[in-house]
Structure 1
Amino acid sequence: MRVLQVCAEIFPLLKTGGLADVAGALPAALAGVGVDARVLLPGFDAILQGLQNAECLVELPGHGQVPGGRLLRGELPAAGVTAYVLDSPALYQRPGGPYADAAGQSWPDNHLRFAALGWAAAALALGADTTWRPAVVNAHDWHAGLVPACLRATAAPVASVYTIHNLAYQGQFDAACFAQLGLPASFWGVNGMEAWGQLNFMKAGLYFADRLSTVSPTYAREIQQPEQGMGLDGLLAGRANVLHGILNGVDPAVWSPASDTLINTRYDASRLAGKARCKADLQTRLGLALDPKAPLFCVVSRLTEQKGLPLVLNGVQAMVARGAQLAVLGSGDAHMEARFRALAASHPASVAVRIGYDEPFAHQLVAGADVILVPSRFEPCGLTQLYGLAYGTLPLVRRVGGLADTVTDSALENLEDDTATGFVFEEFTDAAFDAAVRRALALYKRPKAWTAVMRAGMARRHDWRVAAEAYRDMYRLALPH
């Protein structure tokens, strides 16, 4: 089966979040279960620089006000996949990030930039590469939301799958933008791409795709309800019979303490002394008190409301007062960045903060910390808690989305039968978060029990093969019968 994955970023060439990790790992995992997967990406500088043996297949025409471009085919050795890249310098080669300028303002023509990706996918589905034509096109997140609509508009003979990575980011634009996309007028409206009076790329994907998926079973259920449906719960509930919840995996070639070249000392569940050395190294590098008995909590995250960081900010003083340390890596909301910096300035021996993103340092944080905090308000899947499990860094999470599917609370009955892997709380309140922190601190004082939970977490397998088999089965269901 030939499958084309369409996404806006891919690890390790271009990453703003977990989408890139999935895009980088899924094609190889699919190959392992008999699926011939390739990717289609926008021609951002980082992508073009990583593309080798590139050749131009065709000059794509524009549609409406959507510019065309050169459709390139080549290899992305860093990601281990054959890739198609839409080379359109006017759309993609700009200063700043892939979706916003250097000041963080979204590019005003994002609807055109990512509509072009949809039309490129349709061209491939119609045979732009005469040597390889997909049977299924899998579009990821809002940037590829127009892919199923473009496939439908061109009557391309393929099945379409649309994968939601985060329903909160929907690609919403003024209604007037629809007329610029070159799509049939009949595609506008409630039974189409309009949501609450706006053009909505996510809605287009959800409405026109043959099958839908999201990145954990619990999130698939949650988004059918108003609280987490983000205004699209009615449509999702109506399509529940074609909605799949497939948990993301972790690539052991990238995230394994036994082989990770980015950390100070490698270790595994039978040789945990290396983790203690990683912790000492981290404390030293961050200027924290060099104290092996101080439980070290970490955050590796976008600093946003969604990620539950207000709970962490409100709880830091109590954590420090109880002898804990906190190390933070991330960027996002300017107010949160300022508050974290202020806490680090007032507690330099206990709190360290690095604003920005640094992939090697993220590995070092996860390896050196004792607990990784993921207290999200909502969380489609979450990857950092999976990294924590792999590295023996116990996740402290809220029971939502993929966090609920992957972390088992250290309640007495779970400690008794060796199924506990972390700390889970229910309500999004300071009190519930604080209670979970206190339970973590209490368990930390019992080294034998703590080590048993570490080893139980490290024994959990969240590899991509299981996910790839579920994707393959979904693709088969999407095909005409």
Structure 2
Amino acid sequence: MKVAVVSFEVYPLAKVGGLADVAGALPKALKKKGIDVSIFMPFHKKVKDNVKKLELPLKKVLDEFDLGLDTTEKASLFQTILPGTDIPVYLVENAHYFSSEDVYGSPDGGEQAIFFTKAVLESIKKMGEPFDVIHANDWQTGLLPVYLKTVYSNDAIFSRTATVYTIHNLGYQGIFDRLYMDFAKLPGYLFNPDGVEFYGKLNFMKGGIIFSDIVNTVSPTYAQEIKTPEYGEKLEGVLQARSDVLYGVLNGIDYEENDPSSDKRIPYHYSVDNMDGKWKDKEELQKEMGLEVKPDIPVIGLISRLVDQKGLDLVNDVMRYVMSCGVQFVLLGTGDKKYEESFSNLAKEFPGKAGVKIGFDINLAQRIYAGSDFFLMPSRYEPCGLGQMYSLRYGTIPIVRYTGGLADTVNEFDGEKGNGFGFKPYDSAYLARTIVKALYYYNRKDDMKTLIRNAMTTDLSWERSAQEYLKLYNLALKNH
């Protein structure tokens, strides 16, 4: 089977969020299962920098070519490899759309996404190598299945190509003015409630949902939640209508990249059978974040985009009470100014007990996963979540709200079974109670050893997830 994974970000070439981790790890797991997999992504400025830094091979595959859009801008195609593999990564280049320092920094995100999507399809045509399955991800590639079922419906090279469309977060749909239909040169008849029209606008993600052979999201629970008004973001009716092809496949994490026994991003290594390194990592984290170095005090970590979705209003409500319970708190993240300010003020209010770094630092993130005792993730909604998976892998116990992928990966500890703690009602009192419960077990050393062992032996590898995606690819081919 020949599969093309299409994504706006791919780790380690470009990373903003969890999509990059998925797009970087899934192809490696598919390759191990004998799948002929390729990746298509934009040739962002950040990617150019990383190709040089990682000393990856780079060659031009296609000189400038026209895309048939309402623009004179042309695309070129380059090829490199996914680091540590021979998986080809095809890079769509255009100075106008992909020259920003930020992956999503284009002044016109709609045009940028359309340009990239059309360039991928035209590149496949020009290379003359058909794919059995094109796996598109998130709203930026939502129009790809639309193009295949309309503009390219009579193209022989795509006649047997099935599409799988993955929703990583329904909250970001790619909603733009109807005029973008003209830029995309899509047929006007598509702009209706049964097509890509959405309250008078063009909705990229809606197009992906309606026109793909298989639609999936990144956890079984979230696949059910998004069919309800509470989580459906006004697309619940469309998702209900497509429920016969809607699936939930839980993401995995790269177990080679994220291995506490060998991870070069953490000071000391450890394993489930020898935890000494973890306690040294905790001491180093306390020093780095300006906390009092006390081995017996519990450290609660939080790594997040600082936005409402992540349940940070609940954290704000309870954190001063939690600090009075004799804990330390470390935070890494950036986002809404109100949260950046409130957590910065918390650090000033509790010197030596709270350490806050506003920004994004992938290496510090890893040191927080390794050096904390607990990891906080009380999300309002969470399609999958990777933070709790990383924390489990590193023996740091997640405290979560049971929603989406958090409900699928964290099981309540009862003194014997389970790998974390959680609550369901979106209420700060329930968060506070859950943290207190976690601290109770922290002081029961034998129970804590059991809990850490349960966490570190939880299987959240891509091996399991890749097998599920293979099933979806075969279903997509059958449906197509």
Q: Equivalent of 1:61, from 58, 66, 69?
A: 66
Query: Shift of the alpha carbon at 1:116?
Result: 1.3
Query: Shift of the alpha carbon at 1:78?
Result: 5.8
1:73 aligns with 2:79: yes
Counterpart of 1:272, as a letter, is M
Query: Shift of the alpha carbon at 1:124?
Result: 4.2
> Aligned ranges for residues 150-161 of structure 1 at < 5 Å?
150-152=147-149, 153-155=151-153, 156-157=158-159, 158-161=161-164
Q: Structure 1: give runs of 5+ residues left out of the alignment.
A: 101-106
Contact preservation (8 Å) 2:58, 2:78: no
Contact preservation (8 Å) 2:92, 2:120: no
1:463 aligns with 2:461: yes
What do residues 312-363 of structure 1 show as CA deviations (whole Å, max 9, x unaligned)? 1221111111101100001001110000000001111110000111111111
Distance in 2 separating the partners of 1:52 and 1:243: 38
Contact preservation (8 Å) 2:67, 2:119: no
Question: Helix, strand or coil: the match of 1:3?
Answer: strand
Q: Equivalent of 1:292, from 266, 287, 295?
A: 295
Query: Shift of the alpha carbon at 1:30?
Result: 0.5
1:86 aligns with 2:92: yes
Contact preservation (8 Å) 2:221, 2:408: yes
Q: Structure 2: give runs of 5+ residues left out of the alignment.
A: none
Contact preservation (8 Å) 1:54, 1:75: no
Question: Helix, strand or coil: the match of 1:63?
Answer: coil
Q: What corresponds to 2:142 in structure 1?
A: 145
Q: What corresponds to 1:201 in structure 2?
A: 204
Query: Shift of the alpha carbon at 1:58?
Result: 4.9
Question: Helix, strand or coil: the match of 1:276?
Answer: helix
Counterpart of 1:134, as a letter, is F
The RMSD of aligned alpha carbons is 1.4
TM-score normalised by the chain length of structure 1 = 0.94
Distance in 2 separating the partners of 1:254 and 1:24: 11
Question: Helix, strand or coil: the match of 1:83?
Answer: strand
Distance in 2 separating the partners of 1:293 and 1:8: 43
Question: Helix, strand or coil: the match of 2:282?
Answer: helix
Q: What corresponds to 2:405 in structure 1?
A: 402
Query: Shift of the alpha carbon at 1:56?
Result: 2.5
1:177 aligns with 2:180: yes
Question: Helix, strand or coil: the match of 2:335?
Answer: coil
Counterpart of 2:33, as a letter, is V
> Aligned ranges for residues 18-417 of structure 1 at < 5 Å?
18-49=18-49, 50=51, 52-66=57-71, 67-77=73-83, 81-94=87-100, 96-100=101-105, 107-125=106-124, 127-130=125-128, 132-152=129-149, 153-155=151-153, 156-157=158-159, 158-410=161-413, 412=414, 415=415
Counterpart of 2:95, as a letter, is P
Contact preservation (8 Å) 1:52, 1:77: no
Contact preservation (8 Å) 1:24, 1:79: no
What do residues 407-461 of structure 1 show as CA deviations (whole Å, max 9, x unaligned)? 0112x3xx2xx32101010111110100001101111110110110110111111
**1:290/1:338 CA distance change after superposition, 3 Å:** same
Q: Which runs of 4+ in 1 moved over 4 A?
A: none
Query: Shift of the alpha carbon at 1:256?
Result: 1.3
Counterpart of 1:469, as a letter, is Q
Contact preservation (8 Å) 1:210, 1:478: yes
Percent identity over the alignment?
A: 37
- Give the length in aligned residue pairs: 467
Contact preservation (8 Å) 2:67, 2:122: no
Query: Shift of the alpha carbon at 1:255?
Result: 1.0
Query: Shift of the alpha carbon at 1:108?
Result: 4.1
Distance in 2 separating the partners of 1:480 and 1:274: 50
Q: What corresponds to 1:104 in structure 2?
A: none
TM-score normalised by the chain length of structure 2 = 0.94
